């Protein structure tokens, strides 16, 4: 078991209604940050840091400060490795992805891309590996964005299940200014988030938008006045989700994501099938039993 997992404190709670919110009560828990060292089984990274700031929460911090976290291929490779390791970790239940106060990420690495040719990009499927971030990750991913989130940085943030940001965060798809277009899903995900009219304006002009606008337009779930508040609230949300049944959380993420691909009727039918399937889980029996008995649910993740 990971050292911090042993630190999880199960506090006695007065009623099941509050208990259902989170198994890990933030106020009762020590604020520990674990940096995976060479003595552990976790790989060492050059461009990211992986920590476990709260029980059940794996945090990935993009860490290429001199380039404002420009997303080079080696950085994305490390990010994919870290995500797949957190995905398979039995102690990680939610993942938080962040950068620095100055930059979440200023885009794909322009210096790496500048010399590419059509055939080299096409034959190496340049940028395709970014899709692993969303295609294989079943645990919830929260992006906490401060500073620049431009081009690929904006696209990376848009891949998260929940996006939080500072009010002054600087989002945008400026690729048009470089003689190109978004290449990691921006034209699709931003358009789904803000609608065609706004997406067309943003992508064709390359104009930035603020974190405050991101929240107003539904790109971000919430925006905050400072970096400290952003990180605290992001961790609180991550910890709340980490306190629920893994089975229910994975199913909830799956059905919401299906809404982006299916028509309403098919989507509702898919949701109902998964809802029916959860009656076969032990955690559904535990959750509803605990409610009736006015006690705190003890999830088994089965
Ligand atoms: N790629 C590579 N290096 C980058 C970078 C990027 N996307 N963004 C910033 N950097 C580097 C700068 O070159 C600079 O390095 P040096 O000190 O070696 O010159 C360093 O980071 C600091 O940047 P600035 O001096 O420019 O910092 P600033 O505060 O004056 O400006 C900025 C900040 C407005 C974000 C500016 O750096 C900028 O415009 N960056 C590029 C943003 C961009 O166009 N992103 C889209 C990339 S294309 C893409 O992402 C395609 C896709 O869809 C996948």
Among 104, 105, 107, 149, the mutation site with the greatest number of ligand 1 atoms within 8 A of its Cβ is: 107
Distance 170 CA to ligand 1 centre (A): 13
For 177-211, b/e burial (b = at least 16 CB within 10 A) is eeeeebbbbbbebbbebbeeebbeebbeeeebbbb
Q: What is the mean pLDDT of the chain?
A: 88
For 158-175, b/e burial (b = at least 16 CB within 10 A) is bbbbbbbbbbbbbbbbbb
pTM for the full predicted model: 0.88
Q: What pLDDT does residue 42 have?
A: 54
* Number of neighbouring beta carbons within 10 Å of residue 142: 23
8, 19, 70, 108: the active-site residue:
108
Q: What pLDDT does residue 136 have?
A: 84
Look up 229 and say whether it is catalytic: no
Which ligand 1 atom is at minimum distance from the Cα of 111?
Answer: 2
55 SS3 class:
coil
52, 78, 155, 215: the active-site residue:
155
15: pLDDT confidence band, cut at 50, 70 and 90?
very low
C-alpha 157/C-alpha 171 separation (Å) is 9
Q: pLDDT of 165-189, one tens digit each?
A: 999 999 999 999 999 999 999 999 9
Does residue 127 register a pLDDT over 50? yes
Q: pLDDT of 242-256, one tens digit each?
A: 999 999 999 999 999
2 SS3 class:
coil
Pull the structure tokens for residue 64. 């290429």
Does residue 75 register a pLDDT over 60? yes
Nearest CA to ligand 1 atom 21: 67
Does residue 161 register a pLDDT over 50? yes
Look up 175 and say whether it is catalytic: yes
Q: What pLDDT does residue 43 have?
A: 60
64: pLDDT confidence band, cut at 50, 70 and 90?
very high
- Specify the pairing of strand 48-54 against strand 57-62: antiparallel
């Amino acid at each position: 078991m990971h050292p911090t997992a042993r630190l999880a404190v199960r506090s006695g709670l007065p009623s099941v209604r509050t208990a259902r919110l989170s198994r890990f009560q933030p106020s009762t828990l020590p604020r520990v940050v674990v940096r995976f060292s060479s003595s552990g089984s976790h790989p060492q990274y050059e461009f990211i840091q992986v920590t476990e700031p709260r029980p059940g929460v794996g945090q990935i911090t993009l860490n290429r400060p001199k380039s404002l976290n420009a997303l080079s291929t080696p950085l994305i490779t490390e990010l994919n490795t870290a995500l797949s390791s957190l995905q398979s970790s039995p102690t990680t239940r939610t993942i938080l992805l962040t950068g620095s106060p100055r930059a979440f990420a200023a885009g794909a690495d322009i210096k790496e891309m500048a010399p590419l040719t059509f055939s080299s990009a096409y034959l190496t499927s340049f940028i395709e590996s970014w899709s692993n971030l969303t295609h294989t990750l079943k645990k919830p991913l929260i992006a906490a964005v401060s500073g620049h989130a431009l081009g690929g940085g904006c696209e990376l943030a848009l891949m998260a299940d929940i996006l939080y940001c500072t009010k002054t965060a600087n989002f945008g798809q400026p690729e048009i200014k470089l003689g190109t277009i978004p290449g990691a899903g921006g034209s699709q995900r931003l358009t789904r988030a803000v609608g065609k009219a706004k997406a067309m304006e943003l992508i064709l002009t390359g104009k930035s938008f603020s974190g405050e606008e991101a929240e107003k337009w539904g790109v971000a779930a919430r925006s905050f006045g400072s970096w400290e508040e952003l990180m605290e609230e992001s961790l609180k949300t991550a910890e709340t989700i980490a306190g629920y049944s893994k089975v229910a959380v994975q199913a909830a993420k799956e059905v919401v994501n299906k809404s982006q691909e299916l028509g309403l009727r098919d989507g509702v039918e898919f949701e109902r099938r998964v809802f029916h399937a959860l009656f076969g889980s032990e955690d559904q029996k535990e959750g509803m039993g605990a409610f009736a008995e006015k006690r705190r649910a003890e999830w088994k993740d089965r």
